[in-house]
Amino acid sequence: MSCYPILSKLSKISDYKISTLLLTGETIDARSIALMMKKSGILLQRLCLESANKINEEPLLLEAIKSFCPNITYLRISGFVFSTQFIELIGNCQKLQFLSLWCFTKDIPDEELKIRIIQFSEILPLTLEDIYLDSWLRKYTDIFLNNCNTPLKKLRMYEIYNETIFKALVEFCKRTKTLNYVSVSKYLNLDDNIKKELEAYVALVQSKLTDNGFFYFL
């Protein structure tokens, strides 16, 4: 659903009182949303922004969320660039409990991307309990797991396709001792031996459509 008709109506309201905001569409009007957040961001707790394309004036929108939305507990983001500013925003969400991400990384050099993933892993708020990482992080999943010390209870990931990711996940379970279960999108592709070994440390399940957090906003 396009966000423009909704934003057009909201722009006529002088005082926004919004605790949940879900906007999806081909494009996102960053300036209008930033203005809305300036007026009502303090009340916002659940935020979902999904764009099929890169967002014009994305830095403006990121700064607005960072500056005016300190009480976000559920955040679902799709279509943003995995920039240093984006990473800083995540670290600033000090009440965050659920996070679902799909980011653009195509134009980021490989070594720089690895550095950003480490920064992202280390900056996650300690309040975070549940994270959904889609296929965008696929071949760097081990880097995330090796550098994350947030006491997650639920980890939702795309796939475990090699020994490196498997070992990183086992070490994460041992290190944090908080993970209750891992859901995997490519669960049916998992080797039976890997399933058996992992289940000694954590419950392993196949991902469901609700794992990306969309229904938190309904």
Mean pLDDT, rounded, of the chain:
88
Mean pLDDT over 193-209 rounds to 90
Q: Could you report the per-residue pLDDT of 33-85, keeping only the tens digit for each?
A: 999 899 889 999 999 999 888 788 999 999 999 999 999 999 999 999 999 99
CA–CA separation, 173 and 175 (whole Å): 6
| 2, pLDDT greater than 50 | no
| 218, pLDDT greater than 50 | no
Mean pLDDT over 7-22 rounds to 66
Mean pLDDT over 112-141 rounds to 95
CA–CA separation, 173 and 160 (whole Å): 15
109's CB contacts (< 8 A; 6+ apart) are: none
Q: In this predicted structure, what is the pLDDT of residue 10?
A: 54
CA–CA separation, 128 and 98 (whole Å): 6
For residue 28, the one-letter residue type is I
Mean pLDDT over 107-128 rounds to 97
The beta strands (E) that lie in the chain are given as 20-25, 46-51, 74-81, 98-104, 130-133, 154-157, 181-184, 203-206
3-state helix, strand, coil in the chain (%, to 5): 45, 20, 35
Q: In this predicted structure, what is the pLDDT of residue 163?
A: 93
Q: In this predicted structure, what is the pLDDT of residue 71?
A: 97
- Helices 58-68, 84-92: axis angle to 10 degrees equals 20
Residue 203 pLDDT level (bands cut at 50, 70, 90): very high
What is the layout of strands, in order, in the sheet containing 46-51?
A: 20-25, 46-51, 74-81, 98-104, 130-133, 154-157, 181-184, 203-206
User: Token pair of 30, please?
Assistant: 């960053």
Residue 191 Cα distances to 140, 143, 159, angstroms: 20, 21, 11
Residue 25 pLDDT level (bands cut at 50, 70, 90): confident
Least Cα distance to 86 among 129, 124, 44, 127 occurs for 124
Q: In this predicted structure, what is the pLDDT of residue 3?
A: 47
